[in-house]
């Protein structure tokens, strides 16, 4: 494995390769005890390592054991039986104006047809109700992991109360987690192998070389054209000269070309 001598954090995966790990882009379902014990990356603060996987987004399901409400957010303490973590759940302003909801509702319930305003109000109310929880309720949170004042917490991007009268959701989560760990999180992150032509030792260094050349090509293009924002497929053409070697990559380049020409 080619190791960059200038990289002092040799035991951590270099940050340029993090995007190759699917776990990095996913909301990882880890036990809260693991979430609390994970080490923060030395390369980029805000990203954490579970074994060899970099991640910053998590998905937890647990019982609310602590609740704090402020004007803008709820802070729920979630317990999944392995640990307890604080989840910061922002309130949505559109839930606030519920004052007129009861008056507009048609009390007789006559068949006036589908009244879109009423339905929207009911939807807003349902959304709001799914975010107000009491101690003992089951909460599902998906969000980014942050460390603030020495405590790990989850800044929720989405959260909702889970109705689980038969404990089916909790049971299936308990059955699923060890499988996820065995198949995914506890597996070592493998660098993607180069094509069949490359040797074992030469494969990864060829890949590194390819990667640095493509990064350089992209950067030069963006500086030259003074591009502030771009879409990935608009700049894929820059990478075409670099990937010519094997049949697999020719197929890939053909696919990319057809997407761009469409």
Partner 1 sequence: MLPPPAVFHFLWEINTDLVKDGASVRTNGRLISYKPEGSKAVLSGQQSSAQCHVYVQTTLVEPFQPILGAQYFVLGEIEKTDGLTGVILHARALSNVDGVDLTLMQKAIREQRCFFKKRIPEINEQAPHCEPSYVKNL
Size of the site for partner 1 (CB under 8 A): 26
Instruction: Rank residues 185 and 189 by Cβ distance to partner 1 and give the closer one.
Output: 185
Rounded CA gap, 80 and 83, in Å? Answer: 6
Region binding partner 1 by CB under 8 A among candidate stretches 51-59, 103-111, 175-183, 233-241: 175-183
Closest listed residue to residue 75, CA positions, set 160, 155, 146:
155
Q: Which is nearer to partner 1, 113 or 165 (CB)?
A: 165
User: Per CB under 8 A, does 166 bind partner 1?
Assistant: yes
Asked if 215 touches partner 1 (CB under 8 A), the answer is no
Any contact of residue 228 with partner 1 (CB under 8 A)?
A: no
Cα(254)–Cα(211) distance, integer angstroms: 19
Residue from the set 116, 175, 188, 228 that interacts with partner 1 by CB under 8 A = 175
- Output the CA–CA distances (angstroms, integers) from residue 7 to 39, 45, 62, in the order listed: 18, 16, 39
Element (H, E) at 49: strand 48-50
Q: Angle at Cα 68 formed by Cα 130 and Cα 64, nearest 5°?
A: 55
Which residue from 13, 50, 53, 80 is in contact with partner 1, where contact means CB under 8 A? 80
Q: Which of residues 135-164 bind partner 1 (CB under 8 A)?
A: 135-136
Q: Measured between alpha carbons, how far is 245 from 209 in angstroms, rounded to an integer?
A: 14
Q: How many CB atoms neighbour CB 34 within 10 A?
A: 17
Rule CB under 8 A: say whether 165 interacts with partner 1: yes
**Residues making contact with partner 1 (CB under 8 A):** 32-33, 63, 65-66, 77, 79-86, 135-136, 165-168, 171, 174-175, 177-178, 181
């Amino acid at each position: 494995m080619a190791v960059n001598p200038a990289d002092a954090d040799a035991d951590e995966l270099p940050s340029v390769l993090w995007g190759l790990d699917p776990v990095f882009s996913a909301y990882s379902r880890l036990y809260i005890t693991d979430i609390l014990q994970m080490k923060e990356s030395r390369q980029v603060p805000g990203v954490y390592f579970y074994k060899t996987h970099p991640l910053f987004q998590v998905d937890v399901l647990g019982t609310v054991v602590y609740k704090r409400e402020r004007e803008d957010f709820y802070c729920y303490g979630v317990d999944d039986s392995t640990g307890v973590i604080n989840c910061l759940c922002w309130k949505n302003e559109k839930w606030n104006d519920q004052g007129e909801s009861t008056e507009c509702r048609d009390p007789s319930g006559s068949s006036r047809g589908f009244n879109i305003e009423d339905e929207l109000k009911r939807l807003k109310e349902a959304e709001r109700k799914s975010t107000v929880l009491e101690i003992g309720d089951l909460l599902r949170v998906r969000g980014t992991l942050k460390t603030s004042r020495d405590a790990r917490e989850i800044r929720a991007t989405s959260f909702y109360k889970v109705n689980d009268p038969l404990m089916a959701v909790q049971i299936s989560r308990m059955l699923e987690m060890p499988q996820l760990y065995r198949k995914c999180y506890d597996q070592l992150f493998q660098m993607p192998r180069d094509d069949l032509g490359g040797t074992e030792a030469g494969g990864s260094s060829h890949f590194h070389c390819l990667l640095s050349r493509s990064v350089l090509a992209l950067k030069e293009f963006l500086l030259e054209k003074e591009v502030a924002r771009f879409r990935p497929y608009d700049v894929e053409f820059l990478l075409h000269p670099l990937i010519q070697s094997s049949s697999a990559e020719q197929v890939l380049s053909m696919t990319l070309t057809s997407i761009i020409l469409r």
